[in-house]
Amino acid sequence: MKSKRQLQKENTRKKILETAYQIYSEQGFSATTAVIAKEAGVSHGTIFVHFSSLDELLCYLIQDFGDVLGSEIHQQSETKDNIEELLKAHLDVLARYEKFYIRLIAERSLLPEDARLTFSNIQSIAAYHFNKVFERENNIKNLPVHRLFNTWMGLVHYYLLNKDLFSPDTPVLERYGSELTETFLELIKK
């Protein structure tokens, strides 16, 4: 059984992470740890009790997002032979993290190298799982997997990065997710 102190420390870490997701989603990755600490209601030093550096915090957040994404698309790629189900699962995760993910793709080049590598690993894991389903699906055009995956990601990223044009008042993926899926399937099916 965990002590009261251990539970308090876990709750503080959780509060820091939730606040960091919120702050980075709204203000971008240039937001300081001081802003996160203030919004989380902890001292600035408390951030560094839980994370040794800003880079570590960023990598943890990106990896946490990646773990959720990887787990859900892994499950789909292992249990379904239908690319449409995988696309929907992918969009479902992105929709839950939409504001954070938009910042991530828009500001990726500004992130520290370790955070960029973490993001690249997430994309590679997603591509691997997409490949597994593409290989089992019989009615997909004979195109290299990297072109299929990059076309999907390009379509999704274009809409997300242009949220102000497509859906300024509502989440993009809520509004256009089905349309993106249908468009992609029309492009790749025989």
Residue 181 has a pLDDT of 97
Domain boundaries, the chain: 1-51, 53-188
Residue 81 has pLDDT above 80, yes or no: no
DSSP, collapsed to helix, strand or coil, labels residue 140 as strand
Prediction pTM value: 0.92
Q: For 30-53, how does the pLDDT look when each residue is reduced to its tens digit (9 = 90+)?
A: 999 999 999 999 999 999 999 999
Phi–psi pair at 189, nearest 5 degrees: -80, 145
Residue 136 has a pLDDT of 86
For the chain, the C-alpha Rg in angstroms (whole number) is: 19
Q: For 128-145, how does the pLDDT look when each residue is reduced to its tens digit (9 = 90+)?
A: 999 999 888 888 998 999
Residue 80 has pLDDT above 80, yes or no: no
Q: What's the chain's average pLDDT?
A: 94
Summarize the confidence of residues 68-90 as an average pLDDT. 89
CATH of range 1-51; options 2.60.40.180, 2.60.120.10, 1.10.10.60, 3.40.50.620: 1.10.10.60
CATH 1.10.357.10 is held by the domain 53-188: yes
